[in-house]
């Protein structure tokens, strides 16, 4: 899916700046999701479609996603992170895939902690965490972590935001399925998004 890198410069600077605190490790991807929504002039309706990704997951997204990749630094090592994000009705629904250098358990744990800490820094609220199973397409599940935060955005305009995320790792990938919204989301939408999240 083509990305329009030059379009980001056409967006007002304050719009892009307001997105940066919400997704600090992946700020570029959040901005691109907002840009895509503005260009498409999409209506605030949920048009769910199932995405089968070659990075090893399946998920439902509520709009046509943007796709972007950029490196992130983890423990002094640069690793590629790929993001697919859909913007609808004041919320960003996104899935990030971090490609790890190996499939060791300690590497996966470090990657998950990196993702958890990055999300937790975005809002000035106490994160609520819980263990959740993330199903496998072939049956069974892997252990995952659910993270919920609500509070003022750290920095920027300090607007109140909500983040709900599920983190999991399998093989040489760590995954982050996340919703960032201006306010509480209907449980129906959260169930659709997270309930469809499966790993290969």
Q: Pull the structure tokens for residue 137.
A: 């397409």
Question: Do 56 and 200 meet the contact criterion of CB atoms below 8 Å apart?
Answer: yes
Question: Do 90 and 117 meet the contact criterion of CB atoms below 8 Å apart?
Answer: no
Residue entry with tokens 């599920």 = 166
Residue entry with tokens 């469809």 = 196
- How would you write the pLDDT of the chain (200 residues) with one tens digit per residue? 333 332 222 223 333 333 333 344 444 444 444 444 443 343 458 899 999 998 999 999 999 999 999 888 888 889 999 999 999 888 999 999 999 999 999 999 999 999 999 888 888 888 899 999 999 999 999 999 999 998 888 776 778 888 999 999 999 999 999 999 987 788 999 999 999 999 99
3-class secondary structure, 39? helix
* Closest to 122 (Cα-Cα) out of 27, 55, 53: 27
Q: Pull the structure tokens for residue 4.
A: 């329009």
pLDDT of residue 95: 96
Phi/psi of residue 31, each to 5°? -65, -40
pLDDT of residue 44: 53
DSSP track, 138-198: TS-EEEEEEEEEEEEBSSTT--EEEEEEEEEEETTEEEEEEEEESSPPPHHHHHHHHHT-E
3-class secondary structure, 53? strand
Give the global pTM: 0.77
Residue entry with tokens 């329009």 = 4
Burial group, residue 38, by CB count within 10 angstroms (0-12, 13-18, 19+)? middle
pLDDT of residue 160: 85
């Amino acid at each position: 899916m083509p990305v329009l890198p030059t379009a980001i410069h056409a967006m007002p600077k304050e719009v892009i700046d307001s997105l940066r605190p919400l997704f600090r490790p992946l700020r570029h991807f959040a901005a691109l999701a907002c840009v895509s929504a503005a260009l498409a002039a999409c209506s605030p309706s949920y048009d769910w479609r199932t995405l089968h990704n070659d990075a090893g997951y399946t998920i439902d997204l509520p709009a046509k996603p943007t796709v972007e990749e950029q490196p992130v630094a983890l423990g002094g090592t640069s690793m590629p992170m790929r993001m697919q994000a859909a913007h609808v009705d004041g919320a960003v629904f996104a899935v990030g895939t971090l490609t790890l250098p190996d499939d060791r358990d300690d590497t996966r744990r470090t990657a998950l902690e990196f993702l958890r800490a990055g999300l937790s820094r975005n809002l000035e609220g106490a994160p609520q965490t819980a263990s959740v199973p993330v199903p496998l397409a072939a049956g069974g599940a892997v252990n995952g972590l659910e993270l919920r935060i609500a509070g003022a955005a750290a920095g920027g305009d300090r607007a109140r935001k909500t983040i709900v995320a599920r983190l999991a790792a399998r093989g040489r990938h760590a995954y982050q399925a996340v919703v960032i919204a201006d306010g509480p989301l209907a449980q129906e939408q959260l169930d659709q998004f997270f309930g469809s999240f499966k790993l290969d």
